[in-house]
Chains A and B, each alone.
Chain A
């Protein structure tokens, strides 16, 4: 349906004439902006959201420290973006599908992924659902409707459109949310996903975490436009921009978006304006491309402090509870880490399982040859060798029983 209005002078519409406002509810000191109303959240849910934010922050800090100590090969923090990720996840039904990029551990945490489950993946041990095949932070949970993370950027976005179309056909009343960074939104997959969603009226929420940087590339070198949001117009889609550090705004916007997608099959693009406070990953050093001053200015807008202040105004939280929560989470994380670290790696056979539904004869042959080789040189392959040597396995069992 194109517009029928005609003009008879070459009057161009300029891209920079579009401007999208930002929806925000909560000030940094925890009071509401004049004219703003808080979403109807309730104490229980508000506290669940806040607990998850704190837990995510604690996990991130401890795991980053563990990476620095050489206990972990790699890590990625969500620091600064907890309100955007957790606020949006909280507005969904627990059975809605989440297809994330990699920095959304908070959403998974909100769904109930345990610290144990996080650790098993991070250490790639025998209990990792992904069997130690992917780098740390590539979580997944079928039970919690959280698609296993894949590193190639933006590939999850058109998949989310497809997944949600299936949900629409199934008529189960659920939708899919897909998260991505403003960098990943440059990929062709992003554009394909939005177009198909709009054309086929798919119940999918596209959630862009615009955190200012894609590794070292600032958003001004990523796009010339006013962010990612205006692209929705091109596909004739609903769009909203929210203050991504304002958990109430994010929650409310996502709740409304969910109504639009589930009740009216209108896909929605949400752009959450936030900031990646930490390094891109444990392999990155942001001092090479941005200033301390810039980071500090954003630290002033810390989404955790903002929500904490609001909760205190509600009379739902105080300093003492805060301290007790922090302490108990720190202890839990450290204890769980020690346990996960000690667990043995996935079995040698997992090298060839799940490539196909059944191990093929060629793969079986390759595995047998590898086992022979390892028997010859057990010291060179300590991880593999333990599965060929029963005494080592018994030692593992002893360690287990000895308790961590």
Chain B
């Protein structure tokens, strides 16, 4: 199997989807001839023409409004928002329109074909406006699906599944891993299931849960904890909405302990939702309080980014705290 990075995996997924189905279109700021500022859409315009892969004017609400209309008409748009930090001008189109098309019309109309791709997350010295993780804002919106891959293999399989899913999907790409994460990826078409978490490592003492770029960090923390003799079960949630409660609950029923991590601020972060659900379902089995390792309740900083971000040491300490409670 060829070894490629996450951007190449995303590019392959888009290429396959466009080759297979003429209704698939890719567009957004700088997406056309240049192939996107991260080059995720490289060569697609060359291959499929300017009508199916193009630059849009610089207007996010326009991009998503346009995509909503296109999808309602039966096309399969894959719209790119250049950075997740700049998705907010399109917030109204996403939460009031994309998410509610099917529901409000009794399925007379829907925008199920729509996929919105956007790079998210920190660790790239991007400061305040190139580092945010906005998944929780959208997780409060029924009707959307929210997917986050952790490596190139997952990115390709989950993106193909998202494009072909009958519901609109927000696909958050961990930009820190775009080039840093490399791995074996089959050249052919394959899909990974949405709304299914994956147990990436089995263990018996504690469950450690995350998504996207945090998975790499979790693995490092778990390695440290295992040296102390703690057996960790690791879960990649993969889909934030609708999320796979059963896999997480089953794991916690077994281990009795849970650590959840994400880069976004703690208050209102998605870890809060998971922890509420798990304590409802597993209360009598819990050996210690559910731990959250998150960003601070502040905007994202630049110079002190390392201090701000949840890293392997913070997760390791949370595992220890849960074990020694």
| Nearest B residue (CB) for A283 | B37
A373 & B317 in contact (Cβ 8 Å cutoff) = yes
Q: With both chains docked as a complex, state the minimum distance between the C-beta of B147 and any C-beta of chain A, in angstroms.
A: 24
Stretch at the interface among A264-272, A342-350, A390-398: A342-350
B57-A222 in contact (CB<8A) = yes
Are B129 and A132 touching (Cβ within 8 A)? no
Report whether over half of chain B's contact residues are helix, strand or loop; otherwise say mixed: loop
In contact, A133 and B58 (Cβ under 8 angstroms):
no
Bound Cα distance from A206 to B314, whole angstroms: 48
A214 contacts partner chain B, Cβ-Cβ < 8 Å: yes
A253-272 residues with Cβ-Cβ distance < 8 A to B are none
Is A329 in the interface zone, CB < 8 Å from B? no
**Are B129 and A362 touching (Cβ within 8 A)?**
no
Given contacts A151-B85, A188-B61, A221-B55, contact A370 B307 (CB under 8 A): yes
Contacts of B311 in A (CB 8 A): 380
Give the Cβ gap from A100 to chain B, nearest Cβ, in Å: 15
Is B296 touching A363 in the complex (CB atoms < 8 A)? yes
| B130 at interface by CB-CB < 8 Å | yes
Per the bound structure, the CA–CA distance linking A384 and B314 in Å amounts to 14
B128 in contact (CB, < 8 A): yes
Kindly identify which residue among B85, B296, B303 contacts A132, using a CB–CB cutoff of 8 Å.
B303
B304 touches A151 (CB 8 A): no
Number of A-B residue pairs having CB atoms within 8 Å of each other in the complex = 137
- Measured CB to CB, the closest approach of chain B to A237, in angstroms, equals 20
**Contact in complex: B307, A187 (CB < 8 Å):** no
Q: For the complex formed, measure the closest distance between the CB of A193 and the CB atoms of chain B, giving whole angstroms.
A: 14
Q: Is the CB of A383 within 8 A of B303?
A: yes
Is A186 part of the binding interface, using a Cβ–Cβ cutoff of 8 Å? yes
B130 in contact with A151 (CB, 8 Å): yes
Interface string of B56-90 (1 = CB under 8 A from A): 01111110000000000000000000000110110
Q: Shortest CB–CB separation between residue B107 and chain A, in angstroms?
A: 30
In the assembled complex, A58 has its CB within 8 A of some CB on chain B: no
Binds A, one of B26-34, B137-145, B208-216: B26-34
Partner of A135, one of B62, B302, B304, B306: B302
From B85, B298, B301, contact of A152 by CB (8 A) = B85
A353 to chain B minimum Cβ distance, whole angstroms, is: 9
**Smallest CB gap from B126: residue in A:** A135
Q: Which residues of B contact A138 (CB under 8 A)?
A: 127
Q: Are A152 and B129 CB-contacts (below 8 A) given A366-B297, A381-B306, A383-B306?
A: yes
Indicate whether B247 reaches chain A with its CB closer than 8 angstroms: no
**A151–B129 contact, CB under 8 A?**
yes
Structural contact, B127 and A135, CB atoms closer than 8 A: yes
Contact of A134 among B33, B129, B298 (CB under 8 A): B129
Measured CA separation A38–B25 after assembly (Å): 52
Apart from A214-B58, A351-B296, 8 more pairs, CB < 8 Å: A135-B127, A217-B29, A221-B55, A350-B301, A351-B307, A352-B298, A366-B296, A384-B306
What are the 8 tightest A-B residue pairs by CB atom distance, in nearest-first order? Answer: A132-B303, A151-B129, A216-B34, A186-B57, A135-B127, A183-B58, A384-B307, A124-B303
